Structure 1
Amino acid sequence: MAAWTQTVTAKVLGIGVLALLMTIPLMQVNGLVQERQQLRETAVTQIAQGWGGDQVLGGPVLVVPTMRQVGVAENQPYQLRAGSESMLADTLKMDVAMSVQTRSYGIYSVPVFVSTVKLSAQFRAQDLARFRHGSSASWQGGKAELRLPIGDLRGLREITDLRINGRPARFDSSAERLGPWPNVVVPIDLDALADQSIDVEIGLELAGTESLQLLPLARSTDVNMRAPWRDPSFVGAALPLEHQLDTHGFSAHWHLLDLNRSYGQHWSDTDDGMKPALQASSFGVQLYQPVDVYQRNVRAGKYGLLFIAMTFVAFFLFEVLRRLRVHPVQYLLVGTALATFYVVLLALSEQIGFGAAYALAASAVVLIVGGYAMAVLRARRAGMLLGGVLGLIYAMLYGLIAAEQYALLIGALVLLVMVALMMYLTRRIDWYAYVPMTPGPTTAAAASSGPPAAIMERS
């Protein structure tokens, strides 16, 4: 048994155990990245509290109070119960111009925006008549409201224009909600309109943080949006029909029909399925940050064990092919240096950006491990070669991080090449052979002073 533990196979198994032990500090680093992400989310929340959060904006919705006969019990007279019914516009047009800036909270920066919105909507007279006559409730048209849903009212900077059929009007605050969103409302008297169409024009400034989504609250919805942001992420239930990206920002155009959503033009307050349906129909843009250091740190950490194992393999090949001897503690110290790379990368990337932080952290670890290899292997050339191999490994890791769409393909090919190279280099190794030993400084000093007494007696 003692002889087997000195074989090359036992050495490989021991190195594998050491590589698995390195998952412990890698898990700690991953937890640290998650903690820093939570701190950034806290910073986003703090900024949003004073500026406005993720915004949602819809078109005006006509909400009419109703009285409905409701049966209480058998053989009992009907009772009247108050409710409401909602009706959407026939056409809705939005023009959204966003100005974007970056706000900081501590070391964290977040994109915020102020959007200038021009909105026009039309409610057709024939739709009003049809829904009114088709309703099972009695419309109380003299107390109707036009409600405008806004995701976060703290971001409503100014109402620059509000006209109903060409006449100026004014929004009031309201405790009512449309789905999950608060509203601003303007009273309207349907009875006084005498079956006329309702034309609504609204101008406003709406501030928010990171995301602006819109609601297709009309039979036909047209949206034009532009912003000086070069990395938009179009999100939600619909992608733009047309969009343009250039160095100055983006512009996009959406066109949606009532057939593209899961709810109709008219519903009552008793419909419990409207809230999730409204939420599912939102669409818009998120101000994506492609240099998000935490996303890249997470991706780098996913390859941590693989690249520690690759470095251990490089040390092992030098040990076997050059008939050297590296102690398990020395492998452990090298693995600790490699794990420290991820902590240094996270700390630096928060301050100077991911690219520069990666270059500095990788250079520091390559110098440390390369210099240590020179001392351990007692060969300058071997240490420099190992440092070069480690530098190549970090270069491949950066390529995997940068290639978002092809990371899996590149990683699979690199892994295949590394396995093939390792098989080629170890093709003539006798795995049952004893591990070679090159005398270290202590052993050499003992040998120069003469053989031990026990060896002298045996000889």
Structure 2
Amino acid sequence: MGRWMQSPTGKVLGIGLLALLMLIPLMQVRWLVQERQGMRETAIEQIAQGWGGRQVIGGLVLAVPTRELIAADEKEKPRVRLASETVLADDVQVSAAMHVQMRRYGIYGAPVFTSTVQLSGRFLPEDLAGYQRSSSAEWLTDKAELRLLLSDLRGLQEVTALKINGRPVRFVSSTDRIGDLASVAIPIDLKALGDQPITFEASLKVAGTESLQVLPLARSTSVEINAPWSDPSFIGAALPGERKLDAGGFSAHWRMLDLNRSYGQHWVNGDTRIEALLGASAFGVQLYQPVDVYQRNERAGKYGLLFIAMTFVAFFLFEVLKRLRVHPVQYLLVGAALATFYVVLLALSEQIGFGAAYALAAAAVVLIVGGYAAAVLRARRAGLLLGGVLALVYALLYGLIAAEQYALLMGAGVLLVTVALLMYLTRRIDWYGWSAAAEPVRGEAVTMERS
């Protein structure tokens, strides 16, 4: 059994088993990354509680209470059903200028913003008259409200201007909601307005965390968002028709029609089917942080087994080419040092950033493994060479982590070159002869010990 383990086949299988064994600490590191990422999300929630969360602006909608007499059978009295009809505007224009900064909670940070939002639009009297005629309920038009919908009212910092038909008005608090959206309201008497359209203008200051979206709650919705953020991610139901990106920030413009969404211009408030569709129609921008610390750590961990295996293969090649011996325990120690790299990288990257953390962690592991290899293989040159190879491996790994879109292509190329290099270096090795030649070396060592 011992002789078989010293054979090339046994040695290769043993090294492969040791490499697979290193999956255990690598999986522990991946769980640690996920745990720290969860702690970061908790920190972002804490920031949002005091500042404002991910914001969705719904514009102004018209809510009209309704009353309907429900006929009953002979045994029951007629009853009155109270409801509320939600009516959307004919057109809405939204302009949002975002001012971004980083807020921190402990060691974790998230981009937050304050946005100056300009809203304007109108409701057509013929729309209101048509919806009222088609309804079986009585519309209480003297008790109507215009409601501003916002996902997180904690972020509504200021209302600098608010006009209905050119006259200044004020918002009042409201407990009414439409789906997940809270609201503030403006009482309005539709009877007093008669047949004239309802126009509105509003200037708001809204704070939020990470993303700003708009709901297309009008027959025609025009939205413009700009911010000094060079890495926006346009999210939601629609991409901007026009956008401009540069180092100083971005600007984007959307135009949505009622034909582009899956609900109509009015509905009975409380219709869960409509409310479920509202969130799916939102669109806007997320303040994306390209390949953040935890994404990079997770990506580095995905290549962990590959690079541990490559290092083991390098040690094995020194065994074969230099006629040296490396014990399985020594392979395990080298693997433990390589696995420790990922823990050190995670811990440092939370404090000093990923680039500097990667350089320090890689340098430490290269020095440790290179020095250990020099001692184990009893050759300083071998230690320097293995340290250089390991440094090259970490440089390649950093390139794979940094290349977001081409990581798979680069990884496949590195793997192909590595296999080709191994085949080239071992092309003249007589594996059967190496196994037979190993016996005298072992026998000579035993004789020396007895003498």
TM-score by length of 2: 0.95
Deviation at 1:280, TM superposition (A): 0.1
Structure-1 residue corresponding to 2:266: 266
Structure-2 residue corresponding to 1:160: 160
Matches within 5 A, 1:59-458: 59-72=59-72, 78-269=78-269, 271-432=271-432, 433-434=435-436, 436=438, 452=450
How far, CA to CA, are the matches of 1:298 and 1:34 in structure 2? 8
Aligned AA (1:245):
L
8 Å Cα contact 1:320-1:435 kept in structure 2: no
Unaligned runs of 5+ in 2: none
Aligned AA (1:419):
V
Greater Cα shift, 363-372 or 430-439: 430-439
How far, CA to CA, are the matches of 2:436 and 2:132 in structure 1? 93
Q: How many residues are paired up?
A: 448
Aligned AA (2:450):
P
How far, CA to CA, are the matches of 1:76 and 1:9 in structure 2? 90
Matches within 5 A, 1:12-51: 12-51=12-51
SS at match of 2:59: coil
8 Å Cα contact 1:6-1:434 kept in structure 2: no
Q: Deviations over 1:45-71 (max 9, x none)?
A: 111111111111111010111112435
Deviation at 1:289, TM superposition (A): 1.2
8 Å Cα contact 2:179-2:272 kept in structure 1: no
Give the 3 Å change call, closer, same or farther, for CA 372–72 of structure 1 in structure 2: farther
TM-score by length of 1: 0.93
How far, CA to CA, are the matches of 1:92 and 1:229 in structure 2? 26
SS at match of 2:275: helix
SS at match of 1:290: coil
Give the 3 Å change call, closer, same or farther, for CA 362–435 of structure 1 in structure 2: farther
SS at match of 1:176: coil
How far, CA to CA, are the matches of 2:84 and 2:397 in structure 1? 59
Q: Deviations over 1:7-57 (max 9, x none)?
A: 111001111111111111111111111111122112111111111111111
Give the 3 Å change call, closer, same or farther, for CA 438–25 of structure 1 in structure 2: farther
How far, CA to CA, are the matches of 1:197 and 1:144 in structure 2? 15
SS at match of 1:358: helix
SS at match of 1:252: strand
Greater Cα shift, 410-419 or 67-76: 67-76
8 Å Cα contact 1:299-1:401 kept in structure 2: yes
How far, CA to CA, are the matches of 2:70 and 2:441 in structure 1? 97
8 Å Cα contact 1:324-1:436 kept in structure 2: no
Deviation at 1:75, TM superposition (A): 7.4
Deviation at 1:78, TM superposition (A): 4.5
How far, CA to CA, are the matches of 2:423 and 2:71 in structure 1? 82
How far, CA to CA, are the matches of 2:430 and 2:347 in structure 1? 45
Structure-2 residue corresponding to 1:456: none
8 Å Cα contact 2:57-2:213 kept in structure 1: yes
8 Å Cα contact 1:172-1:185 kept in structure 2: yes
SS at match of 1:114: strand
8 Å Cα contact 2:178-2:270 kept in structure 1: no
Aligned AA (1:10):
G
Aligned AA (2:87):
M
8 Å Cα contact 2:114-2:208 kept in structure 1: yes
8 Å Cα contact 1:100-1:111 kept in structure 2: yes
SS at match of 1:187: strand
How far, CA to CA, are the matches of 1:219 and 1:438 in structure 2? 89
Give the 3 Å change call, closer, same or farther, for CA 124–434 of structure 1 in structure 2: farther
Deviation at 1:330, TM superposition (A): 0.6
Deviation at 1:6, TM superposition (A): 2.0
SS at match of 2:195: coil
How far, CA to CA, are the matches of 1:226 and 1:250 in structure 2? 6
8 Å Cα contact 2:54-2:211 kept in structure 1: yes
Deviation at 1:196, TM superposition (A): 1.5
SS at match of 1:53: coil
SS at match of 2:208: strand
Deviation at 1:109, TM superposition (A): 1.5
How far, CA to CA, are the matches of 1:421 and 1:72 in structure 2? 88
8 Å Cα contact 1:6-1:435 kept in structure 2: no
Give the 3 Å change call, closer, same or farther, for CA 2–55 of structure 1 in structure 2: same
Unaligned runs of 5+ in 1: 454-459
8 Å Cα contact 2:178-2:269 kept in structure 1: no
How far, CA to CA, are the matches of 1:4 and 1:312 in structure 2? 20
8 Å Cα contact 1:8-1:434 kept in structure 2: no
How far, CA to CA, are the matches of 2:74 and 2:409 in structure 1? 70
Aligned AA (1:436):
A
How far, CA to CA, are the matches of 2:449 and 2:205 in structure 1? 90
Deviation at 1:291, TM superposition (A): 5.0
How far, CA to CA, are the matches of 1:369 and 1:237 in structure 2? 51
How far, CA to CA, are the matches of 1:224 and 1:328 in structure 2? 63
8 Å Cα contact 1:291-1:354 kept in structure 2: no
State the percentage of identical aligned residues.
Answer: 68
Give the 3 Å change call, closer, same or farther, for CA 125–426 of structure 1 in structure 2: same
How far, CA to CA, are the matches of 2:74 and 2:355 in structure 1? 75
SS at match of 1:58: strand
How far, CA to CA, are the matches of 1:359 and 1:439 in structure 2? 41
Structure-2 residue corresponding to 1:57: 57
How far, CA to CA, are the matches of 2:277 and 2:65 in structure 1? 22
How far, CA to CA, are the matches of 2:74 and 2:89 in structure 1? 40
8 Å Cα contact 1:324-1:438 kept in structure 2: no
